[in-house]
A and B are shown apart, each in its own frame.
Chain A
Amino acid sequence: MAVLRESDTEPYLKVAGVTKTFGRFTALRDVSFDAQGGEFLCILGPSGCGKTTLLRIVAGLETQESGRVFFQGKDVSGLPVSKRNIGIVFQSYALFPNLTATENIAYGLKNRRKDRGAIRKRVDELLDLVGLQLMGPKYPAQLSGGQQQRVALARAMALSPDLLLLDEPLSALDAQVRISLRSEVRQLQRRLGVSTVMVTHDQEEALTMADRILVMDHGRIVQSGTPWDVYNKPATPFVAAFLGSMNFIRDAVREAAGWVRIGGVSLQVEDRFTDGIPPGTPVTVAFRPEDVVVHGAGDGPRNALPARVAALEFRGPRYRVSFHLNLGNGHVWTIDAEIPTEMIRRLGIQADMEMAIQLPADRIRVYPL
């Protein structure tokens, strides 16, 4: 008879087979993932993909229909929020408007019947931690958005939670503040070493902050990996399109191993993409705009394509250039390229110019249709 036992190899947080429905709408379908101690995990997805529901189930604010949640090997599926020892920061911060920053942070401490001196010491420590030493006596309405956010963070950390949950914590802020708070939150999390799960729909936020990203779509996790992996090796066209932008050429065909054909032109790709797909099968070819090479092409390297500049859009440091590709069978494809402004100037690229572009074989991805 096996007795359930904690072990060191258990993941810090484990979500196993969680399903949640609201009436007829299935918010989560059999979702499972793990997180390691101290890890910063981002759940990324478009609105309505179920990411917030997943966070609320981890928190214990929603009850799943099936599946389990484990904290350090312990099944907490049936436990209420108050017994899971978590800290939460909501999108709205939910700071109590009638209490000062100090009182907000001390709110949970007071309930633990700690003595006053200890509470004050802890609050000062936390205010210090988030860089708001002088803001203690202020009410939330007297603080800026970024300061409110930091008070909410300090309040969530006050009880030294095992797990910090962030529900779109930066989305209510101005663009500038948001960017500066990203690194601040990240540094804080590193310093405290608290395992963190953050929900966001902002891909840039996820890419810059996370140790690992879970991409969700329609109640499922579609990819899990480091920001670098998820961006550079998107598992599905959805992930590819959701993180950054991507050119898709949908009517390509698999040829010999390591080769695909678009119109009358063959492109070399990594062998692994053609594995398991019979020759002649239609596939989607995808590459990012910034991977299109415009210089030095045309002198015979592989994967060079004749192109005509259709439109240029100035974006400051870079241009977004649309190319028309005429690949021989009468059909014209339109693709986008991201080209540094300096390069545009140097090569004298302008509308209607005929030129060659190159798609590096290791930057192309192929998806079965």
Chain B
Amino acid sequence: MSDGAISVPKAARARSLLESLDLDRWLTRGLILLVCLWMLVLVVLPLFQLLSKSLLDRSENFVGLDNFIHYFRTPALSQSLYNSLSVSLMTTIISVSLGFLYAYALTRTQIPGRSFFRIIAMLPLFAPSLLYGITLVYLFGRKGLITTGFFGAVEQATGIPMAWDIGVYGAVGIVIAEVIYTFPQAVLILSIALSRTDARLYEASDSLRASNARTFFAVTIPGVKYGLISATFVCFILAFTDFGAPKVIGGNYNVLATDIYKQVIGQLNFVMGATVSVVLLIPTVIAFILDRIVQRKQVALIAAKAVPLVPKSHPVRDGILLAYCALIAFFLLVFCATALFASLVKVWPYDLSLSLRHYDFRTAGGGGYPAFFNSIRMSLYTAIAGTIVTFASAYLIEKSKGMHGLRQGAYFLSILPLALPGMVIGLSYIFFFNQPRWEILGWVLPNPLNPLYGTMAILVICNVVHFYTVSFLTATTALKQLDKEFEAVSESMAVPFYKTFLRVTVPVCMPAILEIGMYYFVCSMATLSAVIFLYSADLPLATVAVANMDDAGDIAPAAAMSVLIVLTNLGARLLYGALTKGIQRRTQAWTRPATA
């Protein structure tokens, strides 16, 4: 066959074309495209809408940066930026310091009760941040336990007039509340950083006769450098964007999140609401980007064959740290007990007998039990829909072949929601979903998403987006631990990828999937910032009810509702624990390490 004109008959060519048509590949491509599309529609477009709103005046004319100029020229407005920055910086410093010591005690010492301390530190994760504000009112408010010296009991008993007003309404209260709110995150991140170390580094340092202090600064601190930085950014972002605590305890001390709420709900000034949102968004995005850069550097820090560090006992150090952990745990428990107590007391502070009357929400506004059950419903839907969407998207991005650019784009879009404060998501969803028409390059078409406005669906979507990134990263981490050739092996056996996904990937990743579901549920139960813009009057929610009851002065029912939220979340956590245990028992056989 020396001639170059080898021609293949047409029929044969058509057959080979059909044969080479790889259905699997096209299906994955379509699905990845779908992932990009939904992220684009539900994250990018609403955000774009919000940004463009901040550049328009109230009658929709383009005014450039005029809104921002107005913002910074109005001290009553721009003061909030300063306030927000200062309380978040203060919170970050305190929270990371406290968290570091606590995490150090949990991971690097042999103090007793470490798992108990770990659980107590995580307690604040289960409550809406509103609750910290409410509890502070009960402790340090005008009729608070501490402010009045246990209602004068201390003075009666000791003769010393011990009443202490710390001036909780304002910056002090916000900082205390935010420290409690961010503490679990700091402990979590720093515990992971501190437990990821190589014992040989310490042995080397010891063998070189370095002092303990020298080892601490030369080995320990550099080893957790990235963890410290990450904890700093996370605490800052959380405190900077939180709405619940400043709403309750802020008094006249305005921060950005409360300003957005006041502009939008109080004054119906959507343009200024959008403008303040952008002001809130910028530092958050900067902190987020810095955090990502740092995270990326972290990867290669620990050698793959690191030897885990077994902490040695050190009586003096351990004694001090035990006392410290006990103190922190005590405060956190007092906090929870106060909230519970306050919700059960008949008339604070005059009749301290206990009753369940505040748990009958009929006399208070806000929505009562229907609101509570709506929240549970919303959280359940979010957990189910969110887990499916998140895990499937993470799988497609992580495990499919080709379409490199699109997959990277999808990955970026999946990380993006972490940079978006709940207030920003909520407000941009108002703009995006409430708009009756879309105008695209002169074309006008009815907004197909408009019917979702005011429904359960938009609340669920909003929560999925709000808590997407953490879940996505959990899924991605779990998927990365799977053998990267599973897909190739099944393909070689002509088994379609979705079968392997359902038969192998999902069962093996079940612990991570449950964790994602639990995370979505707990976060959705406790969230206020995004949903406060999106709930409708006939679909009240528990956290919104807490905020509204607190506004109306019904603090005890607000505390009661918060307690219900916490109990529900603890229930969800216990269920998760039981399920995980069950799965572990069932899967023991295939997770046990091989014995050669």
Contact = CB atoms under 8 A, between A and B. Distances in A.
Contacts of A174: 596
Interface residues of B, number: 40
A107 B589 CA distance: 19
Contacts of A90: 483, 485, 488-489
A139 B496 CA distance: 23
A86 interface: yes
Contacts of A75: 16
A86 B492 contact: yes
Interface string A88-128: 10101110111100000001100110000000000000000
Contacts of A86: 492
Contacts of A347: none
Interface residues of A, number: 44
A142 B595 CA distance: 7
Interface in B309-333: none
A207 interface: no
A1 B7 contact: yes
B491 A111 contact: no
B589 to A, nearest CB: 5
Contacts of B503: 96, 99
Given A83-B19, A139-B589, 13 more contacts: A80-B25, A92-B483, A94-B483, A98-B507, A98-B508, A112-B494, A141-B590, A142-B594, A143-B594, A148-B594, A155-B489, A159-B494, A177-B596
Interface pairs A-B: 10 shortest CB-CB: A108-B493, A94-B485, A139-B590, A80-B22, A82-B494, A78-B20, A81-B491, A90-B485, A94-B483, A96-B504
A97 B508 contact: yes
Contacts of A359: none
B482 to A, nearest CB: 9
B508 A107 contact: no
Contacts of A158: 493
A79 interface: yes
Contacts of A96: 486, 500, 503-504, 508
A219 B278 CA distance: 53
Given A98-B587, A144-B594, A87 B492 contact: yes
Contact of A111 (B22, B495, B508, B592): B495
Given A80-B25, A92-B483, A98-B507, A107 B493 contact: yes
- Which residue, B5, B491, B496, B508, has most C-beta atoms of chain A within 10 A? B491
Contact of B504 (A82, A87, A99, A141): A99
A99 B486 CA distance: 13
B593 A4 contact: no
Contact of B493 (A61, A141, A142, A159): A159
Interface string A137-157: 001111111101000000110
Interface in B165-199: none
A59 interface: yes
Interface in B473-492: 483, 485-486, 488-492
Contacts of A139: 589-590
